[in-house]
Chains A and B, each alone.
Chain A
Amino acid sequence: MTIHTSVTEQEISVADTIQRVSSPAHGAIDLFIGTVRDNHNGQDVTGITYDVHEPIATATFARICREAAGLWPDTHYAVIHYKGELPVGGTSIVIAVSAPHRAESFEACRYVIEEIKKHAPVWKQEHYRDGKSTWLPGHSLRQESAQADTCCGKCGGAQHD
């Protein structure tokens, strides 16, 4: 298992990221590339500024990769996050995961991006066409799942006080 995590203010090189995980024993590399979208909640977005707490972010990325490596054996990881301003279409994050076979590479890569979305200390400032901008969490805050007051469905709640 190898893990590389970093934060950069330079344009992220996809080829570099792939290079960090490639291995002769691996037959699959899965790649996730996050890019800036031109709309959010109905507003026209012209760009995003990313603020990243670098030491905590790289450590969080590494922890998530270690977790994934425990689940999908013999996998390699590279996570590179951009810090600074990006126009629409710009690349904010690149994740590469290599594995002996494709199934693990897909699954582990999905795991890493989903966990980063939930836990990484990344904030983003969206810039809109009307000249305004707003800060929002770069990771979607986890929704507590709605917990209705259900029970076994048979006891009418008597067993669940």
Chain B
Amino acid sequence: MIKPSAIAGIVLAGGKSSRMGRNKALLPYKGQPLIDHMMALLRGAGLQDIFISGHLLDYPGIADESPAAGPVEGIRSVIKHKPGYQGYLFVPVDMPLLTPSVLRLLLAQEQGGYFINAPLPAYLVPPFTPCASASVQSFLDAQGIYPVDLPDSLAHTMKNTNTPQEWEEALSAS
């Protein structure tokens, strides 16, 4: 496994949160903004250099070159503006139930990895192949990264929260 200090952790927070109706990254989760929780998650997985993709008030972020173009644009911008790492672990801001141990399953994949049926979170390892697609799955395919199995016991940690109802469900599950 690549040593954690050589891996960048990135929270993808450039989305519009249109279905949520308010910025997901700033929703209060366990006493702090969700973005802070997600950064702590990356540190909990052992990473030291943590970045935010997207523009959030009061947080230093890496702006997308083409705003609102989806998570792939965020991934491309980070790779371009933060070169030099041996690995990049991307987590979406809206998966509050992810755990450090789930992320470590991905970090153990030396060639990069993601879970079957869930292109994010994704662990990417350079060199990167240019890919114009706006789909995360196509982007991962272009990098030649293969999915790995997620144990059933951890499936609940992958819950996305796009709507107020999904958010409430996540809060009660945590």
Per-residue B-contact encoding for A127-145, CB less than 8 Å = 1, 0 else: 0000000000000001111
B144 interface contact, C-beta 8 A: no
Q: What separation, in Å, do the CA atoms of A71 and B174 have in the docked complex?
A: 10
A-B contact pairs, 12 of them (CB 8 A): A66-B31, A67-B36, A69-B30, A70-B30, A73-B174, A107-B44, A144-B49, A145-B84, A150-B83, A152-B79, A152-B127, A153-B126
* Structural contact, B83 and A70, CB atoms closer than 8 A: no
| Nearest CB in chain B to that of A64: its residue | B40
* Structural contact, B100 and A107, CB atoms closer than 8 A: yes
B159 interface contact, C-beta 8 A: no
Report A4-36 residues with CB < 8 Å from chain B CB: none
Report A140-161 residues with CB < 8 Å from chain B CB: 142-155, 159-160
**Count: A-B pairs, CB below 8 Å:** 75
* Structural contact, A149 and B84, CB atoms closer than 8 A: yes
* Structural contact, B130 and A67, CB atoms closer than 8 A: no
A68 interface contact, C-beta 8 A: yes
* Structural contact, A149 and B83, CB atoms closer than 8 A: yes
Complex interface: chain B residues within 8 A of A151 (CB): 83
A88 interface contact, C-beta 8 A: no
* Structural contact, B29 and A70, CB atoms closer than 8 A: yes
Complex interface: chain B residues within 8 A of A71 (CB): 37, 40-41, 44, 99-100
Q: In the complex where A103-B101, A111-B44, A142-B48 touch, is A152 in contact with B128 (Cβ < 8 A)?
A: yes
| B: interface residue count bin | 20 to 34
Query: Of B41, B43, B129, which is within 8 A of A152 by CB?
Result: B129
Complex interface: chain B residues within 8 A of A153 (CB): 126-128
13 additional contacts, CB 8 Å, given A72-B99, A145-B6, A145-B48?
A66-B31, A68-B40, A70-B37, A71-B99, A71-B100, A107-B44, A107-B100, A114-B43, A142-B48, A145-B84, A147-B84, A152-B79, A152-B130
Q: In the complex where A66-B30, A145-B6 touch, is A154 in contact with B127 (Cβ < 8 A)?
A: yes
Complex interface: chain A residues within 8 A of B129 (CB): 152, 154
| Nearest CB in chain A to that of B173: its residue | A73
A115 interface contact, C-beta 8 A: yes
Q: What separation, in Å, do the CA atoms of A145 and B6 have in the docked complex?
A: 7
Q: What separation, in Å, do the CA atoms of A107 and B104 have in the docked complex?
A: 12
* Structural contact, A67 and B32, CB atoms closer than 8 A: yes
Task: Give the distance to chain B from A49, nearest Cβ to Cβ, in Å.
Answer: 29
Q: What separation, in Å, do the CA atoms of A149 and B126 have in the docked complex?
A: 13
Task: Give the distance to chain A from B11, nearest Cβ to Cβ, in Å.
Answer: 14
Report B43-94 residues with CB < 8 Å from chain A CB: 43-44, 48-49, 79-80, 82-85
B138 interface contact, C-beta 8 A: no
Task: Give the distance to chain B from A148, nearest Cβ to Cβ, in Å.
Answer: 4
Q: What separation, in Å, do the CA atoms of A159 and B40 have in the docked complex?
A: 32
Query: Of A69, A149, A159, which is within 8 A of B130 by CB?
Result: A159
Q: What separation, in Å, do the CA atoms of A66 and B49 have in the docked complex?
A: 20
Q: Which of B37, B83, B99, B129 has the largest number of chain A CB atoms within 10 A?
A: B83
Report A63-84 residues with CB < 8 Å from chain B CB: 66-73
* Structural contact, B32 and A150, CB atoms closer than 8 A: no
* Structural contact, A145 and B49, CB atoms closer than 8 A: yes
